Chains A and B, each alone.
Chain A
Amino acid sequence: MQAPRSAEIVRFVPLICVIAMAAPRAGVQAQASAGSLSPPVVPGYEHLRLAGATDEAALGEILLGELNCLSCHQATEATARRIPTKTAPDLDRIGERATDRWLADYLTEPHEQKPGSTMPEMLHSLEPDEGQRVAGTLVGYLAFRGAEAAPEDQDAARSDFTDGFPVHRFRSTVERGRRLFHSVGCVACHAPEGTDEEPGVPSVPLPDLNAKISVAALTDFLLEPRGARPSGRMPPLHLARDEAEDIAVYLLRSQAPLVVERRRGFEFEYFLDPEQDEDVAGFFDRPAPNLDRAEPAAVGHIAALSLNLPAKMNYGNHAVRFSSLMTLPAAGKYTFTLASDRRSGLSLRVGEEVVAAKPQFSARESAADVELLAGDHPMEVAYFIRGSVEEPFLEVRVSGNPLQPETPLADLTSYENVRLRPTSAPPAPRNWYEESGSALFARFGCASCHSSPGVDPERGRSYAVSRDKAPDLSALDPDQVLAEPVMHTGPTSPRYRLADDQKRAIRAALASLRDLPAQRPPDREIVHTMASFNCYACHQRQVGDTVVGGPDAVRARYFRVVNDQDLGDEGRLPPPLHGAGGKLKPQALHSILEGSDLHVRRDFMEVRMPSFPGGTVERLAVALEAADASAGDLDEPPFSSAAADDGLELMGTNALSCITCHDIHTNRAPGVSTIDLATSWERLRPGWVDRFLRDPAAIRPGTRMPAFWPESAENFEHLGGGSVDGQIEALWSFLSLGTSMPTPEGMEVGSEMVLVPDDRPLVFRTHMIDVGPRSIAIGFPENVHVGFDANNVRLAKVWRGGFFDAKGTWQGRAGQFYGPYGTDVLNLPPGPAFADLEDIDNPWPTAGRNDRNVGGRFLGYRLDEQGRPALRYRLGDILIEEAPIPLIAGGGTDLIRRFRLSAGPAPRPLFLLLAEGEKIASIAERTWRVDETLDVSVASTADLEPIIRDSQGVRQLLQRIELQPDDTLELDVTLSW
């Protein structure tokens, strides 16, 4: 017994080798090298230059703004409005974002540290040791600023610098970060890595991040760059926190790891297949799930390639990804043998490439030969299974010189846990610098560009002496300016290292500025703003006869379609902005630029449209509309539900088949999946749609959208009067239903468990978020749906679009609360519809989570012949029937709440709560607008006069209803939102 037991113990000793400092990985080396200092990179300017722009003055204006010239050189009011200053980074709490060493180096020689930086050299006149001392003092001062505000945060930031940021599953995190960095849009401006080719447009430089910043600080910065850089030139890309962290780890992967643990085995990620219902036809042989886009349910590490994961596993369909570093002893040809149970699929990726795969339902084994170099190779093994088998297993074996015989993959692999910390030395104590530091901050002109929160504004201004020293912009002699050594060589003058073409442009701008008004013409304003914010990185737009912008050939490769759908360049490259102001409705333009909504390509385009600050958006949107819009394009053609019905038929596969390629709300198109038509009405000007439908290629050259009426051929005579005009009007009428548009013929609707009320309403008992554990969700074919709380007897939610995903009710043990599967969610007041207030001054009853029957006793529901339900409840001696009824309307189908009240022998007066909000205003006969979001109108068989009251801090629109014994009353309340 003894011997084998000790042998076992030996086997369990984990293979750990601790390496104090890992050899640097392949990655960015600091690019600084003396003697080859790049001029400041202003990418929008570069795009215009590349396109052959010749208006030197306009180019110069861009540089004047982007280089913050007007921060020191006072300009006339008109000029200052014409050229908004970019503004420099906010240095508040910079000590949490940058190490002292890096800051000091950067202050001393910004262009060596960050070639192409727009930060000018300020300490260039000082002797090296003096420069070091000044920089050191400034660093101490900067680090101190803002520190008082949150000493704990500072401590936390310090510990990120000293102890390092723990990264588990280092390799897979780096890989995820690499994929994100090269797909979401970072490389539209910054340099892509892993290629020797130089992008056509100079890249926005990155500093030596390894020396500068911690993973935590970089993650925060990526999530909201405008905190530290209010200019918005670095825009947020709608990253989730873990995405931002993955990118940060990727960018900082070469930082000095505090400890590198290498352990034999793999990192693993365990995924639940989003498809769990095995009843779906073709379920078992669908393609493998895309794990790059899936959220792992569990992660961890494991010594062997095994499905016996040390994690909580469910029994549903699942996938596991194992990742590791594979260390090969020699270069040569290796044979990988993949084996797994028959029902599962297995694939092996080495580096960027999938080198071997074993499909589902194939033989148990599959082998592939690969030529590989000696050394470490990142690798991934992905396993997925649908359905269950008696003994699931997987195995990967490797053979090849000198691995004879076959070796289990696990014997060659190891994973790493690291802590990343900046390569610079930890900070020194510093608050004693404050006094002299603040003086230097002013003396060397820092305060001119960098706003100074945390410093007494009065003191800050008096220190900002350099502003006084710089001549006014209008006083500069265009011929002399920037002509070194005459200008910008003084001891505290900024040195930009401008290129000759940049100087030429600035001089031209200065020469022309005096005569120019505060406002540019719209077309020039568009160019100026698009260049300043580098919209040209992704978007093309015509300037005169030339097309400016768009990703250059090297960068364009990184723009991809999700899941490799076949959508051509149209599907992967952001759209050109020719005529964009004439295409989009003004609100839509704002919404897209501010990043809040309507990014209709995000479902299939990997790159993400960032958000831009409000003021800029305003300027650009106004200019775009002024430059591009045609008169009358916003006029809505007449709406009729008959036209919308024709439109529905035209969209379907029996007519124009629009839905072959276009999604509708949550429903995917059966062919390729492109722009959701449910957003069309909200986004597009009707006039533009009319022109586009008639000849798509004329408006969007090269589009895959076909022309439907070639040579005015008239098809489908029964629809839209058989004419092109009528059919376009019918299509627009349908589009104007927005997310409540019904589903056209031929559309595959949702997943197996998404409920689709296609011909009859669906009444579905479930539990819903913000409705309650006893919810009745009612879906209508008109795609307006409601959620009713049967406990408190109240209509709680109304929404448009998709109805409800039954997964939370039907899958597994169920019991999950889901929200609506659609959009345009309208939440009704928290209390019931009716109450017996007794006194008009009494508050409206509200219902707690465990309360029931607050708005009456729920009695059930009845379905009419079309299956439309009427909910029934009794309050006091009054029986109330409430039927929700969709009302087709352009701009989105509305909802009628049709009430029928029947009194018994002894009814008491009731109040009906029509609406609740901050603001309620009468806008028409029996119609009120609530908080600018909801219109409520009332129609009744009786003569009713609603009242508005303030109660419990809200405004309420109430109707008092007094019924005589055995009397009935009918009442329609129409909600339009």
Chain B
Amino acid sequence: MLRQDHPTNVGPTVAVALLTALLLTWPLPAQAPLDEDDWRGREKELLASQRASLGSQTDAEELYYRVLTMPLNEGMSMEVGGLLQLSDGRIMAGTRRGEIFIIENAFSDPPKPVFKQWAFGLGQPLGLLELDGWIYTAQRGELTRMRDTDGDDRADVFETVTDSWETSGDYHEYVFGPRRTPDGKLWVTLNIPFGDQPYGFAPWRGWAVRVDPATGDTEFVAAGLRSPAGVEVSPWGEVFYTDNQGEWNNASKLSLIEVGDFHGHPHGMASTRHPDSQVEPPPEGQPEGGTYMKDLHELIPNYRMPSIWFPYVKMGQSPSGLRWDTTGGKFGPFEGQVFVGDQHHAMVMRVFLEKVGGHWQGAAFNFRRGLDSGVIRLAFADDGSLFAGMSDRGWGGVGPEPHGLQRIVWTGAVPFEVHEMRARPNGFELTFTGTVDPETAGHPASYRMESYTYRLSENYGGPEEDKLDVAIRSARVAADGMSVRLAVEPLRAGYVHELHLHGVRSSDGEALLHPDAYYTLVNIPAR
């Protein structure tokens, strides 16, 4: 509706150029494990080129999804680590500094928010949940619930729900959550420490824990997490989390967590032998560096393959908070899909998931770039807008601000996007948000695909390995013009299939707003 008749077409061209630039500057794999700062040095070089081409891309995105910035009070730090809409409709944001704010008037346009300090001095709370009149948050050393008993908009009761995990004080021992599953249990994910070896000495690090909020009973349910900055319960009740790439998690990912899982990082492995562990110790001990992750289940039966790998730089660098779109269409055409923030790229990504061979897998797409700072938390409000809480402290990032709070509002205009990407026995089926031009969408030359996978190793991050061009054998447009079947060769299980749709046009001649898709093909469907 809105300006849909004259869309800007520079986006895709720029994106392709940008991608090419990034591919050319991709750093070679290191011989020895890199420390985090070395790695950041390389990232810095990449940043300059990214920044240069951001402007025009975000201009195009702005036509469909506006970003409204909440002006902050003088001197206020809004390094958001927890974000939710309260049952009374107000927004609540917790910060890395340990403050919790209630934000009134957050929905005004232009925004004129009023901030009230609801709590102060918490230990790096990195999640917020409202439950039975309490606000739950994970602090470094405990899961805590808080409430305001006298109605002055200041919390006055702080109760420890559980402190069953330990903290050694290492800066990297972040704690994320909680999120609540339908059985009433709360899930919290625990970062591993990081620094000079041997680092950290607390058990249960790199674990997911499950807490009964009524009793505080705590179960240690999954191991091998690295930096699980986002944890979320899917609409159907399963728990998913995002993990940041680094050593022993060589590509950022979105993954299902189930009780008993091992996710690859050996740091907390010793705790698997603790009587409270619900994870079987890996039979061979620590995985040997260099194994392809796709083959790890042969060595470690409870190793959990990810649902999505986010290829480094192309799809952010630090995936964080995630939310399913359950707005019933108020946020546009992506109901049921997952939105994932990235702390480095100041962006929001979009993920489509499907269950193939019993495994959740799917495709990741760019969604909205150009936010003010690294996105740590996302939260949908009841009006269907998406709040983004941000901070890039300690790691730097693409955005111009050190922290902030923004609100992403759908303009009502539907962008021309790949809507879903499903695996098929001989290729993929793409659906679109609008009708495609049969000419371009039906031509294999409009597509390009390659596939690659990752090894698990002690190196910090990891290159795309065993890379192969994938041939597009055919592209068949459905009669209604809303989908395309691609037959491709070879189709390799355990590989990211990176697809570029640079030639595809809509029936109005429009290019895709984001012409790239990254499908993590763990299982190939039988039919």
**Contact pattern, A 797-831, Cβ under 8 Å of B = 1, otherwise 0:** 00000000010011011111100000000000000
- B26 interface residue per 8 A CB criterion: no
- The answer, among A280, A764, A767, A812, for a CB contact under 8 Å with B121, is A764
Task: Say yes or no: B140 contacts A765, CB within 8 Å.
Answer: yes
Task: Say yes or no: A315 contacts B168, CB within 8 Å.
Answer: no
- Note all chain B residues with C-beta closer than 8 A to A810: 77, 96-97
- The answer, among A767, A812, A858, for a CB contact under 8 Å with B163, is A858
Whole-angstrom CA separation of A809 from B394 in the bound complex = 12
Closest Cβ–Cβ distance, residue A805 to chain B (whole Å): 13
- Note all chain B residues with C-beta closer than 8 A to A863: 154-158
- The answer, among B77, B155, B167, B402, for a CB contact under 8 Å with A774, is B167
Whole-angstrom CA separation of A278 from B373 in the bound complex = 15
- Note all chain B residues with C-beta closer than 8 A to A312: 37
Whole-angstrom CA separation of A852 from B77 in the bound complex = 32
- A759 interface residue per 8 A CB criterion: no
Task: Say yes or no: B163 contacts A765, CB within 8 Å.
Answer: no
- Note all chain B residues with C-beta closer than 8 A to A315: 40, 396
Interface centre among B123, B139, B167, B173 (most CB of A within 10 A): B123
- A119 interface residue per 8 A CB criterion: no
Task: Say yes or no: A762 contacts B402, CB within 8 Å.
Answer: no
With both beta carbons as reference points, the residue of chain B lying nearest to A816 in the complex is identified as B171
- Residues facing B in A762-808 (CB within 8 A) are 762-767, 772-774, 790-791, 806
With both beta carbons as reference points, the residue of chain A lying nearest to B155 in the complex is identified as A863
With both beta carbons as reference points, the residue of chain A lying nearest to B98 in the complex is identified as A765
- A514 interface residue per 8 A CB criterion: no
Q: A812-B393, A858-B160, A863-B156 are in contact. Are A281 and B75 (CB under 8 A)?
A: yes
- The answer, among A774, A853, A862, for a CB contact under 8 Å with B158, is A862
Task: Say yes or no: A765 contacts B77, CB within 8 Å.
Answer: no
Task: Say yes or no: B75 contacts A279, CB within 8 Å.
Answer: yes
- Note all chain B residues with C-beta closer than 8 A to A763: 120-121
- Note all chain A residues with C-beta closer than 8 A to B96: 810
- Note all chain B residues with C-beta closer than 8 A to A865: 150
Q: A278-B402, A766-B123, A860-B144 are in contact. Are A817 and B157 (CB under 8 A)?
A: no
- B169 interface residue per 8 A CB criterion: yes
- Note all chain A residues with C-beta closer than 8 A to B97: 806, 809-810
- Note all chain A residues with C-beta closer than 8 A to B51: 390
Whole-angstrom CA separation of A815 from B393 in the bound complex = 13
Whole-angstrom CA separation of A65 from B74 in the bound complex = 66
- Note all chain B residues with C-beta closer than 8 A to A281: 74-75
- Note all chain B residues with C-beta closer than 8 A to A279: 75-77, 402
- A850 interface residue per 8 A CB criterion: yes
- A518 interface residue per 8 A CB criterion: no
- The answer, among B144, B172, B396, for a CB contact under 8 Å with A815, is B172
- B28 interface residue per 8 A CB criterion: no
- Note all chain B residues with C-beta closer than 8 A to A280: 75
Q: A278-B402, A862-B158 are in contact. Are A814 and B144 (CB under 8 A)?
A: no
- Note all chain B residues with C-beta closer than 8 A to A390: 48, 51
Q: A278-B402, A315-B396, A850-B201 are in contact. Are A773 and B168 (CB under 8 A)?
A: yes
Whole-angstrom CA separation of A280 from B74 in the bound complex = 9
- B202 interface residue per 8 A CB criterion: yes
Closest Cβ–Cβ distance, residue B48 to chain A (whole Å): 7
- A861 interface residue per 8 A CB criterion: yes
- The answer, among A806, A817, A850, for a CB contact under 8 Å with B202, is A850
Task: Say yes or no: B157 contacts A862, CB within 8 Å.
Answer: yes
- The answer, among B37, B120, B169, B402, for a CB contact under 8 Å with A773, is B169
Task: Say yes or no: A861 contacts B158, CB within 8 Å.
Answer: yes
Total A-B residue contacts, Cβ distance less than 8 Å = 105
Interface centre among B40, B139, B158 (most CB of A within 10 A): B158
- A859 interface residue per 8 A CB criterion: yes
- Note all chain A residues with C-beta closer than 8 A to B332: none
Interface centre among A315, A812, A859 (most CB of B within 10 A): A315
Number of interface residues of B (CB under 8 A): 45
Whole-angstrom CA separation of A867 from B150 in the bound complex = 12
- B439 interface residue per 8 A CB criterion: no
With both beta carbons as reference points, the residue of chain B lying nearest to A315 in the complex is identified as B396
Q: A315-B396, A763-B120 are in contact. Are A813 and B98 (CB under 8 A)?
A: no
Task: Say yes or no: A860 contacts B98, CB within 8 Å.
Answer: no
Whole-angstrom CA separation of A863 from B141 in the bound complex = 20
With both beta carbons as reference points, the residue of chain B lying nearest to A817 in the complex is identified as B169
**Contact pattern, A 750-762, Cβ under 8 Å of B = 1, otherwise 0:** 0010000000001
With both beta carbons as reference points, the residue of chain A lying nearest to B123 in the complex is identified as A765
With both beta carbons as reference points, the residue of chain B lying nearest to A865 in the complex is identified as B150
Closest Cβ–Cβ distance, residue A787 to chain B (whole Å): 13
- Residues facing B in A303-317 (CB within 8 A) are 312, 315
Whole-angstrom CA separation of A774 from B159 in the bound complex = 15
With both beta carbons as reference points, the residue of chain B lying nearest to A790 in the complex is identified as B141
Closest Cβ–Cβ distance, residue A283 to chain B (whole Å): 11
Whole-angstrom CA separation of A794 from B40 in the bound complex = 40
- Residues facing B in A171-201 (CB within 8 A) are none
- Note all chain A residues with C-beta closer than 8 A to B154: 863, 867
Q: A315-B396, A765-B122 are in contact. Are A790 and B142 (CB under 8 A)?
A: yes
Q: A390-B48, A860-B157, A862-B157 are in contact. Are A812 and B140 (CB under 8 A)?
A: no
- B354 interface residue per 8 A CB criterion: no
Closest Cβ–Cβ distance, residue B146 to chain A (whole Å): 9
Task: Say yes or no: B160 contacts A860, CB within 8 Å.
Answer: yes
- B170 interface residue per 8 A CB criterion: yes
Whole-angstrom CA separation of A810 from B96 in the bound complex = 8
Task: Say yes or no: B170 contacts A815, CB within 8 Å.
Answer: yes
Task: Say yes or no: B142 contacts A812, CB within 8 Å.
Answer: no
Q: A791-B141, A852-B166, A858-B163 are in contact. Are A815 and B171 (CB under 8 A)?
A: yes
With both beta carbons as reference points, the residue of chain B lying nearest to A864 in the complex is identified as B156
- Residues facing A in B132-181 (CB within 8 A) are 139-142, 144, 150, 154-160, 163, 166-173
Q: A278-B402, A279-B77, A860-B144 are in contact. Are A813 and B394 (CB under 8 A)?
A: yes
Task: Say yes or no: B120 contacts A762, CB within 8 Å.
Answer: yes
Whole-angstrom CA separation of A858 from B150 in the bound complex = 23
Task: Say yes or no: B141 contacts A773, CB within 8 Å.
Answer: yes
Interface centre among B120, B144, B154 (most CB of A within 10 A): B120
Whole-angstrom CA separation of A853 from B74 in the bound complex = 41
Closest Cβ–Cβ distance, residue A881 to chain B (whole Å): 12
Task: Say yes or no: B394 contacts A814, CB within 8 Å.
Answer: yes
**Contact pattern, A 275-288, Cβ under 8 Å of B = 1, otherwise 0:** 00011110000000
Whole-angstrom CA separation of A864 from B157 in the bound complex = 9
Task: Say yes or no: B139 contacts A767, CB within 8 Å.
Answer: no
- Note all chain B residues with C-beta closer than 8 A to A752: 75
With both beta carbons as reference points, the residue of chain B lying nearest to A873 in the complex is identified as B160
Task: Say yes or no: A765 contacts B121, CB within 8 Å.
Answer: yes
Whole-angstrom CA separation of A816 from B172 in the bound complex = 11
With both beta carbons as reference points, the residue of chain A lying nearest to B150 in the complex is identified as A865
Closest Cβ–Cβ distance, residue A411 to chain B (whole Å): 28
Closest Cβ–Cβ distance, residue A795 to chain B (whole Å): 17
Q: A810-B97, A859-B160, A860-B160 are in contact. Are A773 and B167 (CB under 8 A)?
A: yes
- Residues facing B in A843-894 (CB within 8 A) are 849-850, 852-853, 858-865, 867
- The answer, among A774, A815, A850, A862, for a CB contact under 8 Å with B142, is A774
- Note all chain A residues with C-beta closer than 8 A to B98: 764-765, 809
Closest Cβ–Cβ distance, residue B81 to chain A (whole Å): 12
Q: Can you report 8 residue pairs joining A to B where beta carbons are below 8 Å apart?
A: A281-B75, A767-B169, A790-B163, A809-B97, A815-B169, A815-B171, A850-B168, A859-B160
Given contacts A815-B173, A850-B201, A860-B159, 20 further A-B contacts (CB under 8 A): A278-B402, A390-B48, A764-B121, A765-B124, A766-B123, A774-B141, A791-B163, A812-B394, A813-B171, A813-B393, A815-B170, A815-B171, A816-B171, A817-B169, A849-B168, A850-B168, A862-B157, A864-B156, A865-B150, A867-B154
Sorted from nearest, which 8 A-B pairs have the closest CB atoms?
A815-B171, A765-B123, A773-B169, A774-B141, A813-B394, A764-B121, A860-B159, A767-B169
Name B residues whose Cβ lies closer than 8 Å to a Cβ of A: 37, 40, 48, 51, 74-77, 96-98, 120-124, 139-142, 144, 150, 154-160, 163, 166-173, 201-202, 393-396, 402
